[in-house]
Structure 1
Amino acid sequence: MVELVYLLYVILSAIAIRIVYSCSWQEWLLRWLIVSTLPVIGWLFPLFWPKSWSRKKDDEALRQIFEFQDEPEVHQVGIYSRMEAEKETNVVSIEEALLVSGHADRRSVMIDVLKKDSIQYMDILQIAVGNEDTETSHYAVSAVMELKRKLMLALQELTVKYESNKTDPVVLREYVDVLQSYMKSGFLDEKTLRKHKFTYIMVLEHLITVSPEDEPAYLEKIQAELDVKKLIEAEQTALLYFHRYPQNEEAYLALLKVYFYMKSYKKMMGTLEQLKRSPLRLSNRALTLVRFWSEGA
């Protein structure tokens, strides 16, 4: 009797594994051997966990990969790259000074920030507002208020320029940059931020129309559309970018990112296959994505 029950369990398990998991022959055999050798308990092994359990970590890891940017290659490092590196170093040194220096040094650092374009130091300034030294805190508040004033003036000026001339790519790019800085400043509540984001998307659409060679505009628009959950529009923008720049790795990655947010596995795999067949020399980020999804598949 026991043997008959066990035999029935083994047969039903084999059928269930084949129907539920749709795996390869080798994987099916592995699963079947586990549940046959360890009746009932074998079903608790990770191989039988729902995909949603294991995909949460995969999703987070993949989001990080999408946001990751490669280090510039040696032949690409120029004045701009050095300036960006210096700017990042300066931000770190200012943050350290506010944490470990004496009050006099902190005040000196804040005075230096006030003399510079403080938008790049916004995160540091917001930390400095709560500094224990009241004078340092005062300087930080002054810098934040001055930055807010400048951004609002620039935004008002460019809004007027934009309304009177929506076909000038220089005006459109300046307006996009100011909107982006204002949205990242931390001055806006959620409702106002969302409203500015839709304006930002609209201006980027005009910029892409009058200046299709402005590649960053496609990526900026895609990200903004993903942020406000406009997934269909993000797909349309990504496809437009891809059709105009089929030899650009970023176009493939933008499509993959959109399909990842849309949870469209089929479209993602199709784009991945196109990328693998393309003659492009892939960056570390693209190679990581290709390996990640190829192994997953």
Structure 2
Amino acid sequence: MLRGSIAVYYVLTAVYLVLLFRRREPMSGGRAALACLIPFAGLPLAFIAGRAAAKSASADPDRFADVVGLKADPAGILVKVDLEKETSIVPIEEALVLNDHATRRRIVMDALKEESLDLVGFLAKAARNEDSETAHYAVTAILEMKRGMMAELQRWSVERERHPDDPSILAGYADALKRYLGSGLMDAEMERTYRLLQADVLERLIREKDCGEEAFADKVECELVLRRYDRAEAASERFLQAYPQSETAYYTALKLYYTLRAGRKFHETLNRLKQSSVTVSYPTLQIIRYWSRGSL
């Protein structure tokens, strides 16, 4: 009698499991385990769990859509969420690997709409994606960004020719060059060409009164990248002369002499900073403490 009851129970359980997995209902694995591992009581418990899950999901359909990462487009078709939500949960590399091809394409298309230079690295990775259409979208986005970059730099070049000594034009041109040089959109030869142009624009800019600390710091950094160390040092000295109470001016000089392994000048600058009345931030204070204990 008992064997017959168990046989009937597992026949019913088998039918239930077929229906359960065919419908792809929530908590399928757990409910299947209940039905199989607890004879007689397992099947009713699985039914109860199923009804509870259904009520929970239907109670707040918008919340359910958020949890599973789905949204309905205007046509009523469920689609994946946007770039920011996709890539805020997992790294970009994983987002392009773990998601299906359609989602990868949508992520890249969302990136294209952003038109932000911060996304160049992401698009470069997407351009190497195994899905050819995803890679095509990424390459298209990069080319469009390059086109926009060149157009903006050309506009600033024309403005500079018209007003070669206008501080606002020089500052705008320097800012555009800085952004694009840091974008990763330029190859090595192109980058050096525009880096030299940046150095020239910044040289003209720092001759102006009240040009700002950033222009001096950028000039020193630019000359360091170009390995024109004498010009970098000259710009650093002018920075300290123009802004003798600037923490940034001292920090820039310390960074320069550290890069050049110029120990004597490094410690001379460090001692000048320690003896000055400049208010320093905690990171700079840590530098002072560290290098006051040792030598370069």
Q: TM-score, with normalisation over the residues of structure 1?
A: 0.65
Offset at residue 171 of structure 1 (A): 1.8
The CA distance in 2 between the partners of 1:285 and 1:219, in whole Å, is 17
Offset at residue 174 of structure 1 (A): 2.1
Partner of 1:209: 207
Which residue of the other structure, out of 225, 228, 242, is the alignment partner of 2:223? Answer: 225
Offset at residue 236 of structure 1 (A): 1.3
Offset at residue 237 of structure 1 (A): 0.9
Q: Is the 8 A contact 2:86 2:95 kept in 1?
A: no
Give, as a single letter, the amino acid of the residue that structure 2 aligns with 1:240: R
Partner of 2:144: 146
Q: TM-score, with normalisation over the residues of structure 2?
A: 0.65
Partner of 2:275: 277
Q: Over residues 101-157 of structure 1, what are the superposed CA-to-partner deviations in whole Å (9 max), with x where a residue is unaligned? A: 332322222121111123111111101101122222121111101001101111112
Partner of 2:26: none
Q: Helix, strand or coil for the counterpart of 2:207?
A: helix
Q: Is the 8 A contact 2:213 2:249 kept in 1?
A: no
Percent identity reads 36
Structure 1 segments unaligned to the other structure (5+ residues): 1-87
1:250 and 2:248 correspond: yes
Flag the 1:113–1:246 CA change in 2: closer, same or farther, 3 A: same
Partner of 1:236: 234
Partner of 1:40: none
State how 1:61-80 maps to structure 2 within 5 Å: none
Q: Over residues 183-206 of structure 1, what are the superposed CA-to-partner deviations in whole Å (9 max), with x where a residue is unaligned? A: 234343333322221110010111
Partner of 2:113: 115
Partner of 1:290: 288
Q: Over residues 241-266 of structure 1, what are the superposed CA-to-partner deviations in whole Å (9 max), with x where a residue is unaligned? A: 11121211111111111212232211
Flag the 1:92–1:223 CA change in 2: closer, same or farther, 3 A: farther
Structure number having the greater helix percentage:
1
1:126 and 2:161 correspond: no
Structure 2 segments unaligned to the other structure (5+ residues): 1-83
Partner of 2:58: none
Flag the 1:117–1:288 CA change in 2: closer, same or farther, 3 A: same
Larger relative contact order (Cα-Cα within 8 Å, sequence gap ≥ 6)? 1
Aligned alpha-carbon RMSD (Å): 2.4
Q: Over residues 178-226 of structure 1, what are the superposed CA-to-partner deviations in whole Å (9 max), with x where a residue is unaligned? A: 2223323434333332222111001011122235332211111100101
Count of matched residue pairs: 211
Flag the 1:196–1:268 CA change in 2: closer, same or farther, 3 A: same
Flag the 1:205–1:238 CA change in 2: closer, same or farther, 3 A: same
Offset at residue 173 of structure 1 (A): 2.1
The CA distance in 2 between the partners of 1:131 and 1:189, in whole Å, is 21
Q: Over residues 46-74 of structure 1, what are the superposed CA-to-partner deviations in whole Å (9 max), with x where a residue is unaligned? A: xxxxxxxxxxxxxxxxxxxxxxxxxxxxx
Flag the 1:273–1:91 CA change in 2: closer, same or farther, 3 A: farther
Flag the 1:227–1:141 CA change in 2: closer, same or farther, 3 A: same
